[in-house]
A and B are shown apart, each in its own frame.
Chain A
């Protein structure tokens, strides 16, 4: 995987706290040159109209347009890797089936308990490994 900072990522989550945490994990990877942020699916799609992005980290539950809707649209219009970051997408939930149908490139839990350094490191590693896997 190329270590050159060149790729662009879009983080879609209605919570700024979650975006901060994800950004912190992404920044530690030295893979992405630009990090975009959107608060919901609609904003994300608008952003994608004008910006080329390599990866989208997508939350499911959001106001205005949720992650499932957004994923559908992204799949129709763009060729971008999408990782669903949501506790709802866990195996067995009704969402996990939908997400699978829409073929997300990865599904991962939110970095919860993130203020606990050891847990944060673990969640961070999971996400970093998943992203590395996608771009290898």
Chain B
């Protein structure tokens, strides 16, 4: 069999198998799905049956056997021998995680992964099979071996965008139109028209071109939009698992999930929503016994389109915010005097939950604690140019409203991470980066400098300028970075890690605004603070010296 065909087969296998995994995941996370719904159980059964077929087709026989075991369990659910409760759902979801990892792994890793997980899955299956199945037993005791998280599997798809052919055709036509107009413009330039007529025609053409370019711009922006749906599966899984680990019965309902938002926004939203939802399960929804007649906790996530953006509502029907606890915390933090606190209206008081260091739980819970508070959520949302606020009624529930604008202005940046604080430089200002050995330094000069556009540019050490994290290592790794904008230039020497990434920057925090070279701040995925370098201020260094 030729290599191309084999590659095509494996790619198709991966696509198809992943589809069956995610469709089963969706079914298992559907809280309205119970074991009386024959049609849904049939689809679940069919998905695993198809998976078996796929594993057989590519000769993954051990995984086929594994899937066979899972299929048997679903057969038992179908015949009502085994209940479809949240413990079983959790076990089946973990089995799917394992299958996904096997599917996405390369053939070399696969054998090892199968060997490592075979027993884990068998153990899960056996515990499901056990006649004296304990309703309250928690599967979290069984932990998958240290595997990469299955959500990282989707990374591959995140690097690609799916574009419908209609949009592509439309863009193609528009580009054709624009280039033909440009040709007309060229021809006109060659003809010797009398100036009145010439200008009139040019004006018309410019109008047409302007309109077309605006349309092109809108269409391209539109292509960057991603359905918020891509977030939902992960969030559902998260709510489900949080509820299980806290032993709470929670129904999670998502509405408006076909709304769309810009890629960058989706990425930031993902962590913000995860945090808010965990928060709702953990702090919002009461313990089962406390809820009594209220029954299962209800958590809602709604997306709706507004004139200039997206409105997202995270709601729960839990106990509501506790005024006394917030007052207590405010006193403790000494943010306001006791009298001032008493005079605050409820909405005014609630705004404080977005303050740094604010958490009314005295012990940090494993679930939504993590040392990260609502302040980080607020920071992330405002980095998108969005807003967050909260409405709460005791005994009725809490609602968080997130207003997100349509487009966040992202900047491509060169990021220098081996400095005391991470600094980012807009790539549009970077002229070149060269290894120190490739750079012709100005000879006979007291300070190291280079010549650029007939000007002598001194080389400044980034580690000295921005503060150093580690001892400055000498060596061939040293890079010279030439920054240039508006005919001004600045040269930096730097020794360390360089990466490229997209960022959305905030106005500098008042705390850092005194730092000389910072024009914006942001937080990356690992919660590192990144400063946007103030290029203009850098140029001023040379100007002052001159």
Contact = CB atoms under 8 A, between A and B. Distances in A.
Interface stretch (A46-54, A76-84, A113-121, A126-134): A113-121
B49 interface: yes
A114 B59 CA distance: 7
Contacts of B59: 112-116, 119
B218 to A, nearest CB: 35
A17 B9 contact: yes
Nearest to A13: B53
Contacts of B6: 115
A110 B1 contact: no
B10 A15 contact: no
Interface of A: 14-18, 20-21, 24, 61, 63, 87, 110-117, 119-120
B8 interface: yes
B1 A120 contact: yes
A17 B12 contact: yes
Given A17-B13, A113-B59, 20 more contacts: A14-B50, A15-B50, A15-B57, A16-B15, A17-B54, A18-B53, A18-B57, A20-B8, A20-B9, A24-B5, A61-B46, A112-B53, A113-B57, A113-B58, A113-B61, A114-B9, A114-B57, A114-B58, A116-B59, A117-B1
A122 B12 CA distance: 22
Contacts, number: 57
B75 to A, nearest CB: 15
A112 B56 contact: yes
A15 B9 contact: no
Contacts of A112: 53, 56-57, 59
Closest 4 CB pairs of A and B: A112-B56, A113-B59, A17-B12, A115-B58
Contacts of B56: 87, 110, 112-113
Interface string B62-76: 000000000000000
B16 interface: yes
A20 B11 CA distance: 11
Interface string B3-32: 001101110110110000000000000000
A18 B56 CA distance: 11
Contact of A110 (B8, B10, B15, B53): B53
A15 B54 CA distance: 8
Interface string B398-410: 0000000000000
